[in-house]
Amino acid sequence: MMRDPDHARMIFEEIGKLFPEAKCELHYTSNLDLLVAIILSAQTTDEAVNQVTQTLFNRYRTLQDYATASLSDLEAMIRSIGLYRSKARNIQSMAQKVRDDFSGVIPSVQMELESLPGVGRKTANVYLAEWHHVPRIAVDTHVRRVSIRLGLAGAEDSVVVIENRLMTQFPEADWIVLHHRLIFFGRYFCKAKKPECLNCPLYDVCIEPVFKR
Q: Are residues 45 and 78 in the same domain?
A: yes
133: left (phi over 0), alpha (psi -120 to 50) or beta: left
From the candidates 17, 23, 140, 212, which is the catalytic residue?
140
Q: Is pTM beyond 0.85 here? A: yes
Q: Identify the domain containing residue 142 by its residue range.
A: 5-19+137-205
Which letter does DSSP use for residue 65 in this model? H
Q: Are residues 199 and 115 in the same domain?
A: no
Domain count across the chain = 2
pLDDT at 6: 84
Determine the distance from the C-alpha atom of residue 145 to the mean position of all C-alpha atoms in its chain, rounded to a whole number. 14
Query: Other CB atoms closer than 10 Å to residue 25's CB: what's the count?
Result: 16
Cα separation, 34 vs 26, in Å, equals: 8
Q: Are residues 9 and 62 in the same domain?
A: no
Decide if 193 is catalytic.
no
Instruction: Give domain status of residue 212, yes or no.
Output: no
Q: Are residues 91 and 161 in the same domain?
A: no
pLDDT at 5: 75
Closest of 155, 186, 142 to residue 18, by C-alpha: 186
CATH of residue 88's domain is: 1.10.340.30
From the candidates 33, 122, 191, 194, which is the catalytic residue?
122
3-state DSSP: the chain helix, strand, coil percent, rounded to 5?
60, 0, 40
Q: Are residues 9 and 50 in the same domain?
A: no
CATH of residue 154's domain is: 1.10.1670.10
- Select from 112, 131, 150 the last residue of a domain: 131
Residue-wise pLDDT tens digits, 82-122: 999 999 999 999 999 999 999 999 999 999 999 999 999 99
Decide if 204 is catalytic.
no
